[in-house]
Amino acid sequence: MFEYFYHEILRRTIISFGSLFNDISIQHKNNSDDIVSTLKVPLSYGPTQKFLARLEQSPNLNQPVQMSLPRMSFEFVGLTYDNSRKVTSTQTFLSTLSTDKTKPKKSYMPVPYNMQFELSIMTKLNDDMLQIIEQIIPYFQPAYTISVDLVETIGEKRDVPVVLENITMQDDYEGDFSSRRALIYTLRFTAKTYLFGPISDVSKDIIEKVSIGYISGDKVPNPIREVTYSIEPSATKSYLNNVVTNLSKDLTEVETIIEVNDPSLISVGDIVVIDDENFKIVSKTSNKLTVNRGHDSTSISEHVSGSEVKLITKSDANLIEFGDDFGFSGSLF
């Protein structure tokens, strides 16, 4: 029923979330309000209980401790479906942003899911905690958007809102005066991400070539094939935006000779696009090209000097979109 695929979407989102809190520091000042130390707060992945257990293993303040404060840790704690962002599950989209642009990819629309995170902040001093908190919460009103490269194979990069849901506070200060104190603030976040299914090649779904054989004669065991008609899809626009030259002279609606700056990349039989009109090159003399106007049923219009002349190539035919009104190139042999 299922095929193997793994886009590392959850992993990428977890890493992106943790990177938000990488560069948080605190400062300590003396009685003269001079800065005596600046400390970057370390960040780790793991549950709060793990770090509290390490603290409790060294209750004596006069002995070396296994973990120093302040410290932050975060953890991925939940995953829920987000019905409010649902789209049609059978809808597909085509992507040409993959590494190999001549091989477009097709995928079903992604499924919206909410990832829950907990960020725990542990400090010994209340002022340290307030410094850290004030460096975080102003960015969440209540959401902060991060850009995540969700599916690298199709170049799918999306903005993922990270919402600050709530903050809880805890002061673990039990026992005698020799016990270590730990102020703990827990910030709960929700990241609104998307999960993609398997990615497939478009070439599996588009008919690239069709051949029809015509035979003649009566009902005989070995009929003779007289002719075959072969057709291939051909693009009617330049998907790759392949600009090869520019118009060197204004073109009216009735003219059939166009003048370009550099005709070296254009040959007889090529199809070029100027604005939204397609031209088929009939002949070529220097920089003057005799053309058939309105090729592929495009609208004939005026064009001004300097307009881009785009060449339609075989690579464009490989990027035909679903539902595109593409033409066919026919040949008899």
Q: What is the pLDDT of residues 199-228, one digit of tens each?
A: 776 654 445 555 555 555 555 565 555 555
Per-residue pLDDT tens over the stretch 8-34: 899 999 999 999 998 899 998 888 888
Residue 63: is its pLDDT beyond 90? Answer: no
Least confident of 18-32, 57-71, 163-177, 257-271: 57-71
Q: Quick check: 235 pLDDT over 80?
A: no
pLDDT tens per residue across span 71-116: 888 999 999 999 888 876 666 666 655 555 556 677 778 899 999 9
* Residue pair 229/328 in contact by the 8 Å Cβ criterion: no
Percent of the chain having pLDDT more than 90? 38
**Domains assigned to the chain:** 9-202 (3.30.2000.40), 231-332 (2.40.33)
First CA to last CA across the chain, in angstroms?
45
pLDDT digits (tens, 9 = 90+) for 137-151: 999 988 999 999 888
pLDDT of 77 reads: 93
Give the pLDDT confidence score for residue 142 in this predicted structure. Answer: 86
Residue 174 confidence (pLDDT) above 70: no
- Predicted model pTM: 0.54
Sequence-separated (6 or more) residues with CB below 8 Å from residue 211:
228, 229, 230
With a cut of 80, say whether residue 163 has pLDDT above it: yes
Q: Name the nearest CA neighbour of 68 among 47, 40, 46, 28.
A: 40
Which residue, 116, 159, 164, is CA-closest to 139? 164
As given in the structure block, the two tokens for residue 144 are 């902060």
Which residue type does 282 have?
Answer: V
More confident residue, 3 or 222: 3
154: pLDDT strictly greater than 50:
yes
What is the per-residue pLDDT for 20?
92
Question: How far apart are the C-alpha atoms of 291 and 305, rounded to whole Å?
Answer: 17
> What is the reported pLDDT for 138?
93
Read off the pLDDT of residues 259-308 as tens digits, 9 standing for 90 and up: 999 999 999 999 999 998 999 999 999 999 999 999 888 889 999 999 99
Please check the confidence at residue 157 and state whether its pLDDT lies above 70: yes
DSSP annotation of 20: T
pLDDT computed for residue 218 by the predictor: 56
